Each structure stands twice: as C-alpha cells, then as structure tokens.
Amino acid sequence: MIKSIEEEFDYTFKSEQQKAIINLKHTSNWLSNIHHNYMIQYNLSMAQFNILRILRGAKDFISVTTIKERMIEKSPNTTRLMDKLMEKELIHREKCKNDKRVVFAKISKEGLELLAKIDLTFNDFFQAYNLSDQEAKELNALLDKMRS
C-alpha cells in the first residue's frame, strides 16, 4: 500500500506545491539513508564511493579538478576525501610533471576489487524502487522542470 506523506507525518499541507517540496526532501533523505547504510558495510561514505567510481570510469590518471567537476554531489573538500581513500590504499596519487600545481589520481587494484564486490549487489540498492521506466521518466521531467 502506498503511504502518502500526510499519513506518514500526520500533517496537512497548504498546497500540492508545498507538499512536493517536503516530499522531495523527505524522499531524498530516505534514499540517502538506504545508500549510507548500504555503503557503511564497505567502510565507504557515498562521497568516497562516488570518487572511486569516477576514477574507475576515467581508467587513467585524472586531476583533482576533473574529479571535482564530475562529482554530482559536490563536496567542498575533495583533497581530504582522497586522503581517506589513500589511507585505505584504494587510490594512487602523483604530481603532474608538466604543471606542478596539478595532482593526478588513479584507482588502485584494491579500489577496483572493492568496486567489483559492491557491483554484485549495487543495482538492488541504487534503483528507483517501485517506479516503472515510464514513471521514472515522468519523475525526471518534473524534477528538471522544477529546477528550470
């Protein structure tokens, strides 16, 4: 059974629009919670996981700036997230020779192995749950319009 947000919080909203705002935040938190609890078993935060995935996607060394650009959930402190990944030896880091301001990073063998392990069950967790393809499409359109 579908439980609306009014039922869940025993609260009546002034308008569908205001309800949508709260519903959106609530659903996003609900999702983040699921994702956080999923990642915690691998001792990774979502931000760390995202950096790892970016690095896997990049295949080769890429700069910190490039990582920052590709991060969907922006984090103000990529350097320190990378420190954590270094500690766990999930990435490599080295200075660029041409431009000494730049630092390059690359995923390590251990990092790839960890991601491979996560991949096995990843899709079960990072899905839009009960939405059909068509419904997910509608949701995307509405969200895009909201921000436009």
Partner DNA sequence: ATAAAATAGCTATTTTTACAATTATTACCA
Partner DNA sequence: TGGTAATAATTGTAAAAATAGCTATTTTAT
Binding region for a second copy (CB under 8 A): 1-5, 9, 11, 15-32, 70, 72-74, 126-131, 133, 135-140, 142-148
Residues 6+ apart with CB under 8 A from 62: 54, 55, 104, 105, 106
Residue 102 is a binding residue for DNA (CB under 7 A): yes
The binder of 21, among a second copy, DNA, none, by C-beta within 5 to 8 A per type, is: a second copy
Label residue 77 left, alpha or beta by phi (over 0 means left) and psi (-120 to 50 means alpha). Answer: beta
Instruction: Give the nearer residue to DNA in terms of CB position, either 81 or 114.
Output: 81
| Rg of the chain in Å (alpha carbons) | 19
Span interacting with DNA, options 9-17, 100-108, 110-118, 139-147, rule CB under 7 A: 100-108
Residue 92 is a binding residue for DNA (CB under 7 A): no
Is-contact 112 56, C-beta < 8 A? yes
